[in-house]
Every structure is written in structure tokens, then in C-alpha cells.
Amino acid sequence: MSETNTQVRDAAGVDLANPNLTRFDIVREGARRDGVEIVHYEPQYPAGSKGERRMTRIVAFFFLFTGIMSTLFVVAFIWWPWEYELGPHASKYYTPVLGLTLGLALVGVGLGILTWGKKLLPHEIAIQERHDGPSSPEEQKLTGTTLQFIGEEMGLTRRPLLKFSLLGLLPLGAAAVAVPVGMLIKDPHHPDVLFKTGFAGATPTNPIRLMHDDGTLVRPEEVSTGGQITVFPNIPGGASNHYADSPTLLIHLREDDAAKLNGQLYTINQGSTWSSFVAYSKICTHAGCPASLYEQQTNRLLCPCHQSQFLITDNARPIFGPATRSLPMLPISVDKEGYLVATGDYKVPVGPAFWEKD
Amino acid sequence: MKRRKLDLKALPGKSAQEVDTRLPVATPLRGVLNKVFPDHWSFLLGEIALFSFIILLLTGTFLALFFEPSLQEVHYDGSYLPLQGVQMSRAYETALDLSFDVRGGLIMRQMHHWSALLFMAAIVVHMFRVFMTGAFRKPREINWIIGLSMFWLGFTEGFAGYSLPDDALSGTGLRIASAIMLSIPVIGSWVTTSLFGGEFPGEIILTRLYILHVFLLPLILLALVSIHVGLVFVQKHTQWPGPGRTNKNVVGERMFPRYAIKQGGFFMLVFAVIALMGGLFQINPIWLFGPYEAAVVSAGSQPDWYVMFLDGSTRLMPAWDIRVLGYNIPPLFWPTVVLPGILSVVPMAYPWIERRWKKDYASHNLLQRPRDVPDRTGLAAMALTFYLVLTISGGNDIFADKFHISLNAMTWAGRIGILVLPPLAYYFARRLSLGLQQHDREVLAHGVETGIIKRLPDGRFVEVHQPLVAPDEHGHTDLPYVGWTVPKKMNRLGALGPAVRGFFRPIEQAPPPQQEQEQPRDEITSGKH
């Protein structure tokens, strides 16, 4: 190392016209002019040595391996059956075969390049000076004064009118903001948006029937005691995502549970149950997931997203987890033809809470 | 006329001259070729993020050629039989088509998803490396801030991508995102309805997320990546302390050829890992989840890993609803809006906080070993523990299910853990750092433990130490600590002699065994007597 070191030092200011200079001398001189000192430069293996030949063979092997794997990849990509078939079929292995061949091809080229770089190229230690820290005070002054001069030339301090006229440009900025905001903005207080669901049109005299997601209507006898189903408003698209706030859980409580619930109904929920049936909004009041995991034994509803738990025998009051609000209750009844109906919309907005939601 | 003979050998030189007469690049180009980079494995973590980002751009462009972000209702008519005739959105249909009806589409989708996960993971690990080694200190504070911004941009970008296929999982995630936006005081409902074009889910949200996912965010990320790497280039990389290394130089290899070639090989290996994962490990099988329906969710729905810590914080949040004058701040606001806000601002301010705290206003180009800055290492351990408790809580239903623990107990463990464990982690990491520091000093003062026990004439047992240099008359060596590894094992001192290269058989001549020399090794030999 020390020998190379002195050579480098001596090379300072070499005469590039000197015909005796080796190529490496010129390289080192170039590096020196870039503030880089090559203090150690040594092949890992002597030229033509057994070790060098071995490393060359390894690199060649990796590249050959990549060639084979890439060929296999192309062959598989074109000829392996790829179209989906039900059941066990070679097409199920299409993606794994592609991944394996492509991955191994890339492993080969990666290891080949790394071996080439790490084993066949000379090992070196180079030192480059850092030039951080501030610019020289002189430079700072020159640039600073130039900037100040530009500022003064603009003449805002000398010409007050110019300053005030700049204020006149503010509406242009307002215009730039107004357009995108105006294009995007939607009033959340439009009644349909956050405050009403698909049951909005229902009244005791003109109720909306409940339906399954396939559009068939719901009769009380379909739900066994202790059972629950998901129901939707029987309106066009009532079960679609267009009415994402309307999915409702219809629960057939056991007799004693129904008595317990009816005994402690909130004022707002008075008269909303029918017989031992109760309907709650399925949309969690915490973050809007469907709170649909029903524990029959404990009469709890669990939201799988953040584990809020609601007690259905007590107005679906939250009893664990981050939710703070009860699930709204849908007023239900049965019409003359024996179908379950909603006799009104939810009395409080369903879904997650927000600033204006009391 | 005689045709001029084309001299192929002179062609490169001649064309280089032609270029240089028009655009004088000789000097700046040589500067780039000769630029010195320090080398250490921990400097490659950021590279993984960079390489995954490149792969994300490549695979994403391919996916965009086939995907249509439309919520228009269609009936599925593709190759995947179990979903035949099912009503779904056009977005979900095209995502299914990408998986089943486009040759090689599935591996592209899976590589895209895996590289997104790897991108975020590499960012997080890289960020820990930068934090724990003090690489964020002056003059590199800006790059630290850019890096943190890229984490949150990548987070948003990943979430937008997760939402696009409109399967059951992504719809649920989007619904939670809408609830999070709703929870913002005063403007929440306005922001949400404006973004969704009305009520959730509306008809327009995927179009907007799509332009965010394929245009705006990648563009900003690309710009920030360029600035980030450009600043590393201009400010020069930090380096570990070591022989010849000072605050004013960079010791390493010139960029070309060896350093650049190693980078190229490493890129190929990262690419290879992503290709293998994309082909062999299934991820996000949207055809099993079904299309998004507002009424349907399954237990064990988890977001991508880098979102889980916010899911966890949401789960742990107590049910505190603040209600004033008919207005309210829902509990969702704190863990999903305020917490990320704190988690972005405080780390961004940390370089300046530490400057004041440690009264260190100097520029630093040498890295610090984590043990040498116990307070900062303690903070890192604290942050990591905080993050892990939240991430585990993000899957606490899975833990409860697999280990037969009560779900509520898991929630309570998380609530208590998030308050108790981070301070404990701080304490232990700090003590550990101090202990390691002390051990380094011990080796410098007394030498390496040899494992040889000597019995003294008076019956005591002592361990023989190998001093690193010739000791003074008290058996002490007075070596200064220079901020770099201190040998802790005899092998590090060459006690085994030089290794012979070769795998099954030697590929070089073993050096002849050295003659026993009179060296300050007598303590060891005395142990053998």
C-alpha cells in the first residue's frame, strides 16, 4: 500500500505528453484532478492465475445459467397452458413456472455481475476530499449582493403603487383555487347524502318492504328464533352499492331477550320493534364496516374491522371497542300480506360519526 | 470518388470528440466516473427501496394497459367460472381479466403488489438505519425530511392501489378511509362528499384514486426520489469511522467500474427476489374475496402490512366521543388523523430537536454506532416498540383466534402495552448501549477474552486476556476508542492464522506456517504450560 501511495504522490502534475506514461498513470492523474487519491489498487488474482480462471468460469457459468433460464421462461410463456381451467390443471402452474424461471434467470445474471465486479475487478481504496461547509465569505457576498441588487431593481420599495397593484393580482390566485374546489365540492348536508338511507320514503301508511339481496321479500317466519339475516330496502337497486348505507340486520330475538329489549328501549327507539323482531343498521357507527358477526349466545354484534361490540338486547349499545354510538334501529312492522316492512327511515343518520352529527 | 475507409477502432474516440465539441462533457463525466462511494451493507437498504420503485413503475405501466377504474355495473363473463354471471364493477372485472384472461397478467399483478410491500419495508428499515447511525444530522436534514415524506406518499400510493381492484377487501378499506375523512372536525363531511362526489361509494372515486395512483403520486415520488438520490450524490455519502476516514474525506471505491457493477448486480438480485415472490407466493387473490358489496365483510380482513399500525391504533382507541354544543369529534379522529400527523411532524423535526438537546451544531459526515448514542438508540427502540405493539394490535383478531386468547384481552393488552412497553424499551436499549460501550473500553484497556482460565498460586482463577498492543507494566493498554468495531474474539486477531481460499479444495497455496516469534503473546503461552 505504501508503495502505491508514494507513486501516487509523485504522479502529481504529470506531463500528459510524456510517452512513457502508462494508461493507469493517466487515469490516476485524472482522478487526482478530481480530488480523488487512489491509495490502493490491486488485482484480486494475478493475471492468468488459477484463481482468476476459476472466477472467470464461475461468471461464465452464471451467464449461461441465465441464458438457459430465460429461454425456459420464454418457452413456458408461449407454450405452457395458461388459460384458466376449473380443477387441477397445468394452467394452475403457469404463474409459478414463470416466476421460477424469470427469478432464477435474474439470480444468475445478478450473481454473475456481482462475481465479475467483486472478484475479477481489482480491489481499490480511493480517498476523495469533501468540500462541504459554506461557500467562501467572498462568494457569499458576491451572490448576496447580486440578489439584493435584483430585489432593488424591481423597485418595490421605491414605487409603492407597484406594491399595491400586486395585491390586485390576488383574485387571480383565488380563481386558481376556486376552479378545482368549485368543481369538486359537494354539499354533505343535502339530505340524501349523509342523513338519509334507502328507507327514506317509508312512512307508517306507505311503508317500504324489506328484501333479501336477491330481491325476494322477507316474511317473519323465514328467520328462526335467535337467527339474523341481512335485509335491504325493496326499492330499485336497494341491495346495490348505490345504497351502501342501507344494509340492515334483521334479528329474531328469543322471547326473554325481546322482553328485555322492549323493557329498556331508548325513547327514540320506542315502537320500532315488531313482536320479537328488531332491525339494526348493519353499518358500524365507528368506521362504517358491516358489523355483522352475531354471537347468538351473548347477544353481541361484533364489527370485524375494529372489534367494536354492540349489545342487541340493549338498543345495540356499544359495550367494547372504539365505537361510541349505538347502531340505529329501523322501525319495522308487518303488512297485511305478511311481509316485513320499514315504517320509516332510521331516526338518526347511520354510519360513522362526524362533526355535525349530533 | 474513393470511399473513405471507416476506421472502426477510431470510431469511439472520434464520436466522443464530436460529442465533446458540441457539449463539453469530458470534465464533468470524469468527475462522475471518479466519484468515490463508501461501502457498507447497511447502505444498500435504501437501494432496495429505489430498485423496488423502478420495478413498481415497470409492472404498473403494464397493468395500466389492461385496467379500467370504472364503477359501472357489469355481469362477469370471463374465464373464472365460479364468478360467472356475478354482478360487479368494471374495475373488478378488468382486475379479474388481468388475473385470468391476460397472458402473464397474474404474475405482473403479484410482482406489482410484492414490490409495493418490499418498497415500504425497505423504506422503513432504511429509515431506521439512517436514524440509528445519525446519518440525518447536519448537513442532511433536508434529505431526512424528503425520506419521511416519501414514506407517507408511498403509504398513500399503496393504499390507493389497494383500493383500485374494487374487491371486498379494497371496498372495506375505502369505506374505513371515508369514515376517517368524515371524522375530521368542521370540514370532515365536506372533504368526504367532495372527494367521493357525494355519498360513499358514489360513482367517481375509483377514477380519482386511479389518477392519483398512476399519475400524481408516482410523479411526486419520482421527483422526490431524484432529489433524494441527487442530494446523496452532491453532499456525498456518509461513511463509518475507520482507518484513514475523517469528517472531511470519503474513503471507498470510485463509482466506475466496480461500484456501479455491484449496484447493477444487486438490482438484478432484488428484481429476482420480486420475480420469485410474484410467481411463487400468492398475494391478494381478489377472485376469492368477491366483488365489494357494502353489506359483506369477513372476519380477519387485514390491510397491507404498512397500514396495519394505524388499524391497530384504531382498534386500541378507547371509546371517547367529545361532544360540544351539538358538534362532536369522533374517537376515530385521534388514532387515524392526529397520530399520523404527530408521527410525521415529530420525526421531521427530530434533527433540530437533537441539535438543541445534545448541543451539537456541527456538520457530521461520519456515522455513529448505535451504542455510542444511547439516548437516540433508546428512542429508536421506543419507536420500534410503539410501532410493533400497534402493528400486532392491527391483527389482534388473528392472534386471538390462532392462540385462543380472548379478543378483548388482546385489545386490553395492546392498550396497556402501548403505554408501558415503549418506555421499557427505551430503558433497556439505553442500558444495553452503555454496556456495549463499556465492553468496548474494557477490550481496549485489557485485551480480548481468550477463554483460557488460569489458576493463580493463591488459588484464584482468572481469565487470560490478549492485549491488542504491548501493555504497560500494569498489564493495561491505553488505546483510544475511535467509533468503530473493537475485536472481541481471538479469531478477529488472526489467532487461527490466514484462511486458505477455496471451497472443496484450496485454490491457492497455503502460506508456510509462521515461525513462533517473540511477541507479547506470552500470557497465552503461559496459560498453556
A64 lies within 8 A of chain B by CB:
no
Is A304 part of the contact surface with chain B (CB cutoff 8 Å)?
yes
Span between the terminal Cα atoms of chain B, in Å: 94
Average pLDDT in chain B: 91
Touching check for A170 and chain B: CB below 8 Å?
A: no
Local structure of residue B258 (DSSP, 8 states): I
Cβ–Cβ contact B30 with A under 8 A: yes
Q: Is B352 exposed, middle or buried (0-12, 13-18, 19+ CB in 10 A)?
A: exposed
Better-scored residue on pLDDT, A75 or A135: A75
Which of B107, B254, B328 minimises the CB distance to A126?
B254
Q: Is B89 helix (H, G, I), strand (E, B) or coil?
A: strand
A52 to chain B: nearest residue by CA? Answer: B507
Q: How many residues does chain A have?
A: 358
The nearest CA of chain B is from the CA of A211 a distance in Å of 13
Please judge whether A186 and B198 are an interchain contact, meaning their C-beta atoms are less than 8 angstroms apart.
Answer: yes
Whether A8 shows a pLDDT value over 60: the answer reads: no
3-state secondary structure of B264: helix
Mutate to test the interface with B, among A2, A194, A307 (most CBs of B within 10 A): A307
Q: Do B107 and A118 touch (CB under 8 A)?
A: no
Task: Find the angle CA(A25)-CA(A28)-CA(A33) to the nearest 5 degrees.
Answer: 125
* Residue numbers in B near A109 (CB within 8 A): 265, 268
Quote the pLDDT of residue B524. 42
Task: Provide the shortest C-alpha distance from residue A146 to chain B (in Å).
Answer: 24
Smallest CA–CA separation between B72 and chain A, in Å? 11
Subunit contact B236:A106, Cβ cutoff 8 A: no
Which chain B residue has the Cα nearest residue A76?
A: B104
Chain A residues whose CB is inside 8 A of the B320 CB are 324
- CA A3 → CA A40, A45, A179, distances in Å? 9, 19, 71
| CB within 8 Å: A351 and B264 | no
Task: Decide yes or no: CATH 3.40.50.300 for domain A193-342.
Answer: no
Of the candidates A247, A345, A230, the one whose C-alpha atom is nearest the C-alpha of residue B294 is A247
Q: Quick one: which of A344, A322, A323, A321 has its CA closest to A332?
A: A344
CA distance B63 to B104: 11
Nearest to B173 by CA among B204, B209, B217: B209
Beta bridge partners of B87: B75
* Residue A278: all three cell numbers together: 328488531
Q: Taking CB atoms and an 8 Å limit, are A322 and B34 in contact across chains? A: no
The radius of gyration computed from the CA coordinates of chain A, to the nearest angstrom, equals: 39
Residue B315 at interface with chain A, using a CB cutoff of 8 Å: yes
Enumerate the residues of chain B whose CB falls inside 8 A of the CB of residue A323: 319, 331
Q: Inter-chain contact B106–A95, Cβ cutoff 8 Å? A: yes
For chain A, say whether B501 makes contact (Cβ under 8 Å). Answer: yes
The H or E element spanning position A138 is: helix A137-154
- Please count the helices (runs of H) and the strands (runs of E) in chain A: 9, 13
| A308, three cell numbers | 367494536
Cα B136 from Cα B142, distance rounded (Å) = 8
C-alpha cell at B209: 384514486
Interface of A with B in 108-127 (CB under 8 A): 109-114, 116-118, 121-122, 124-127
| H or E element in which residue A301 lies | strand A300-302
What CA–CA distance (Å, rounded) separates B464 from A282? 73
Question: What is the mean predicted confidence (pLDDT) over A331-342?
Answer: 94
**Which residues between 11 and 50 in chain A have a beta carbon less than 8 angstroms from any beta carbon of chain B?**
30-31, 33-34, 36, 38-39, 50
List the beta bridge partners of residue A311: A300, A317
Which one of B200, B287, B325, B401 would you mutate to disrupt binding with A, by most A Cβ within 10 Å of its Cβ?
Answer: B200
The residue ranges of DSSP E strands in B312-420, in sequence order, are 322-324, 327-329
> Which residue from B361, B353, B358, B383 is spatially nearest to B372, judged by alpha carbons?
B358
HSE at residue A4, side-chain half, CA atoms within 13 A, is 12
CA B160 distance to own-chain centroid: 20
Measure A42 CA to nearest chain B CA, in Å.
Answer: 12
Cell numbers at residue B186, please? 368542521
In which residue are the cell numbers 408511498 written? B154
How far is the C-alpha of A217 from the C-alpha of A210, rounded, in Å? 6
Distance CA(B159)–CA(B305), nearest Å, equals 11
The span from the CA of B299 to the CA of B185, in Å, is 30
How is the beta sheet containing A36-42 ordered, strand by strand? A36-42, A123-129, B249-254, B36-37
Q: Which residues of chain A lie closer than 8 angstroms to B85, CB-CB?
A: none
CA nearest B140: which of B36, B41, B256, B239?
B239
Distances (CA, A) of B368 to B38, B241, B377, B484: 15, 8, 11, 8
How many other CB atoms are there within 10 angstroms of residue B149's CB atom? 16
Name the nearest CA neighbour of B379 among B104, B74, B134: B134
CA distance B19 to B261: 25
Which among B189, B262, B320 has the least Cβ separation from residue A355?
A: B189
> Are the beta carbons of B295 and A292 separated by less than 8 Å?
yes
Instruction: Determine, for residues A110 and B271 on separate chains, whether the beta-carbon distance falls below 8 Å.
Output: yes
- Cell triple for B297: 365483510
Cell 334501529 sits on residue: A329
Residue linked to cell 486477531: B493
Cβ contact A83–B79 (<8 Å): yes
Question: At residue A195, what are phi and psi to the nearest 5 degrees?
Answer: -105, -10
Cell of B460: 484464584
Residue of B482, B502, B497, B32 whose CA lies nearest to B260: B32
Check: CB of residue A115 under 8 Å from CB of residue A58: yes
The residue of A285, A354, A357 whose CB has the most chain B CBs within 10 angstroms, and thus the best one to mutate to test that interface, is: A354
The answer to whether the Cβ–Cβ distance between A188 and B192 falls below 8 Å is yes
From CA B382, how far away is CA B423, in angstroms rounded?
Answer: 6
Whether A1 shows a pLDDT value over 80: the answer reads no
For chain B positions 381-420, those within 8 Å of chain A (CB to CB) are 396-397, 407-408, 411
The DSSP call for residue B210 is H
Q: How many CA atoms within 13 Å lie on the side-chain side of A239? A: 17
Considering only CA atoms, which of A27, A13, A37 is closest in space to residue B248? A37
Give the SS3 label for residue A297. coil
Predicted confidence (pLDDT) at residue A153 exceeds the cutoff of 60:
yes
Query: CB-based contact (8 Å) between A191 and chain B?
Result: no
Residue among B80, B247, B254 minimizing CB distance to A31: B254
Chain B touched by A311 (CB under 8 Å) = no
B positions 286-305 inside 8 Å of A (CB): 292-301
- From chain A, the residues in CB contact with B269 under 8 A are 106-107, 110-111, 114
Give A-chain residues touching B330 at CB under 8 angstroms.
286, 324, 352-354
Q: Contact, B327 vs B138, CB < 8 A?
A: no
Residue in A106, A186, A192 closest to B268 by CB: A106
Tell whether A128 is within 8 A of chain B (Cβ).
yes
Residue B251 has its nearest CB partner, among A125, A304, A325, at A125
Q: Other CB atoms closer than 10 Å to residue A160's CB: what's the count?
A: 9
State the nearest Cα–Cα gap between B314 and chain A, in angstroms: 7
CA dist B429 to B206, B358, B436, Å? 45, 18, 10
Cβ neighbors of A136 (< 8 A, separation 6 or more) are none
Sheet holding A309-311, edge to edge: A293-295, A300-302, A309-311, A317-320
Chain B: nearest CA to A245, how far in angstroms?
A: 8
DSSP A285: T
Percent of chain A with pLDDT over 70: 96
pLDDT score of A175: 93
Distance between CA atoms of B85 and B99, rounded to whole angstroms?
17
Q: Percentages helix, strand, coil for chain A, rounded to the nearest 5?
A: 40, 15, 40
Count chain A–chain B contacts defined by CB atoms under 8 A: 309
| Nearest to B80, CA basis, from B102, B52, B61 | B102
The cell for B385 is: 416498540
The confidence score (pLDDT) of residue B502 equals 72
Task: Kindly state whether A68 is in contact with chain B, defined as any CB-CB distance less than 8 angstroms.
Answer: no
b/e code A230-253 from CB counts within 10 Å (16+ = b): bbbbbbeebbbbbbbbbbbbbbbb
- What pairing do the DSSP bridges indicate for beta strands A309-311 and A300-302? antiparallel
Query: Quick check: A74 and A67 in contact, CB under 8 A?
Result: no
The span from the CA of B177 to the CA of B303, in Å, is 12
Helix count (H) and strand count (E) of chain B? 19, 8
Residue that the C-alpha cell 392519483 belongs to: B212
Residues of B in contact with A293 (CB under 8 A): 299
Listed by number, the residues of chain B in 120-179 with a beta carbon closer than 8 Å to a beta carbon of chain A are 139, 171-172, 175-176, 178-179
Question: Nearest 5 degrees, angle CA B409-CA B410-CA B415?
Answer: 95
Residues in chain B with pLDDT values less than 70: 1-3, 497-499, 507-529
A182-185 — which CB contacts under 8 Å span 24+ positions? Answer: A184/B194, A184/B195, A184/B197, A185/B190, A185/B194
Among candidates A31, A193, A292 on the partner chain, residue whose Cβ is nearest the Cβ of B199: A193
What amino acid is encoded at A350 in this protein? V
